[in-house]
Amino acid sequence: MRYEFRFPDIGEGIREGTLVKWLVNVGDLVKEGQSLAEVETDKVTTEIPSPKNGKIVELKYKEGDTIEVDEVFVVIETEGENKEAESKEDVEVEKQVVREESAGVVGEVIASSEVIPASNELIEPTTKTTKKKKVLATPVARQLAKDLGIDITTIEGTGPNGRVMKEDILRAKEQLSKPVVQPKFEVEPVQQVEKVEKAEKLAIEYQSENIKRIPLTRIRKTIADQMVKSRFTIPHTTAMDEIDVTKLVEFRNRYKDGLKEDGINITYLPFIIKAVIKALKEYPVFNSTFDEENEEIILKHFYHIGIATDTDRGLMVPVIRDADKKSIIELAKEIEDITTRAKENKIELSELKGSTFTITNYGSIGGYFGIPIINYPESAILGVGKIVKKPIVRDDEIVIAYVLPLSLSYDHRIIDGASGARFLNVLKELLTNPDMLLLKS
């Protein structure tokens, strides 16, 4: 197809131009946008781009000629004589991004056939949740945290709307560099100074990029305080024993499935509680508190048994009140109830207070012996390990038996070693022979 290219209207009142120079020759193949000629108008010299792809057939003017707007200027044979080929070519041209210098009189406006994506104006943007935690803080507070090497996102703000204040950052820094625990009770001054020094040394020894510092949660702080108070106040001693509970295992196996149908999950713990109560009644000092101030031992005639429970937030001790007045099945139900609620954080504060003796069952996680720390201000704690099959000597014969390991920690200020052994003996007698346990309790 022959295409007659007329000298274009290039704007601002230009009616004619002088052909300065041809940039193509007859017979040349040209692309859309390719410059064909340099033309001088009374305002500017500009290059005239080809409007088509094709072959130059005729150049109508000579260099130096004046061309009027709308005069045929160049004749181009466009590619593809038959229509099919031509449309194909057109499609290709459409796809191609053609950059061209447009023929404007003022400056050069870039012209391109590039097509940008359609507007998404009416499409509601999908709101993405941001993965970063945002903290409210003034720049000076952010700088302070940076200088102290504290990640500001880990600090709980106490300012308006939870803003992290400079004081919060300084407090966090203080917590990190001070001893983990500030004992509330009196300790030997020398001891405290030593500890402070040690803790501060610790803070200096590590480079901040190699470690991560986690501020204590309130509950962890309470646990830490309690442990230190107990360990540094009460001289602990621990007695351990292994008890043949083969009969108890058999006994439980006999009733376990039946009880399960009634929705009762019977463990060994209710039996152990029953045995403990019998032992506490026989040796009341294990159910007492040492009143240091008045130099008295307070014996309690009530039996509230604490059950140490592992929760996501840390150790908690829900309490079974008046355990001595409850049946094994009642105990089983209550243990399940309070420990579940403790784990789900649905327990009342009052249910975590007032125990007189505590049992810690690390056996449920697989532990065997342990040295439990007394739940201050109680005087003893029983650690229960995992029941395992073991070879033991029974009537001068080696047999395989179910063995329950027990660890009893007690306050050595008010309980002598012999009493500890006697207490364990009571447990041993009752747990070895469940019939006796039931008869006696």
Binding site for another protein (CB under 8 A): 9, 11-13, 102, 104-119, 121, 125, 128, 130-132, 134, 136-139, 142, 163
Q: Residue 25 or residue 120: which is nearer to another protein going by CB? A: 120
E strand or H helix that includes residue 347: none
* Distance of alpha carbon 236 from the chain centroid: 37
Q: How far is the CB of 297 from another protein (least distance, A)?
A: 58
CB contact burial 102-133 (16+ within 10 A = b; e otherwise): bbeeeeeeeeeeeeeeeeeeeeeeeeeeeeee
Residue with Cβ nearer another protein (118 or 439): 118
Nearer to another protein, 13 or 284 (CB): 13
**Residue among 166 and 440 whose Cβ is closer to another protein:** 166
Beta strands in 24-91 (DSSP E): 29-30, 35-40, 45-49, 54-59, 66-68, 72-78
Nearest to 239 by CA among 394, 405, 433, 437: 405
Please identify, using beta-carbon distances, which residue of 157 and 385 lies nearer to another protein: 157
- Smallest distance from the beta carbon of 9 to another protein, in angstroms? 8
| Residue 309 β-bridge partners | 316
Nearer to another protein, 59 or 155 (CB): 155
Helix or strand run (H / E) with residue 440: helix 434-440
Least distance in angstroms from the C-beta of 40 to another protein: 17
Let me know how long the chain is. 441
From the CB of 65, what's the least distance to another protein, in Å?
24
Q: Specify which residues 381 forms β-bridges with.
A: 358, 409
Find the shortest distance in angstroms from Cβ 13 to another protein.
Answer: 6
Which is nearer to another protein, 118 or 349 (by Cβ)? Answer: 118
Segment (H or E) for 331? helix 328-343
What whole-number distance in Å separates Cα of residue 353 and Cα of residue 321?
10
Question: What does 247-288 look like in DSSP terms, one character per residue?
Answer: HHHHHHHHHHHHHHHTT----SHHHHHHHHHHHHHHSGGGGE
* Concatenated DSSP letters of 186-247: ---HHHHHHHHHHHHHHHHHS-GGG----PPPHHHHHHHHHHHHHHHHS-EEEEEEEEE-HH
Indicate the DSSP class of residue 349.
Answer: G
CA distance 357 to 378: 6
In the complex, least distance from residue 130 CB atom to another protein, rounded to whole angstroms: 5
The residues with which 242 forms a beta bridge, in sequence order, are 405
| Residue nearer to another protein on the CB measure, 109 or 365 | 109
Place of tokens 């830490």: 224
Residue among 236, 301, 304, 412 flagged as catalytic: 412
Q: Kindly tell me the burial class for residue 309, based on how many C-beta atoms sit within 10 Å of its own C-beta (0-12, 13-18, 19 or more).
A: buried
Smallest gap from Cβ 290 to another protein, in A, equals 53
Residue 412 among the catalytic residues:
yes
Q: In the bound complex, what is the minimum distance in angstroms from residue 213's beta carbon to another protein? A: 21
Q: Please give the Cα distance from 334 to 328 (Å, whole number).
A: 10
Give catalytic residue positions: 412
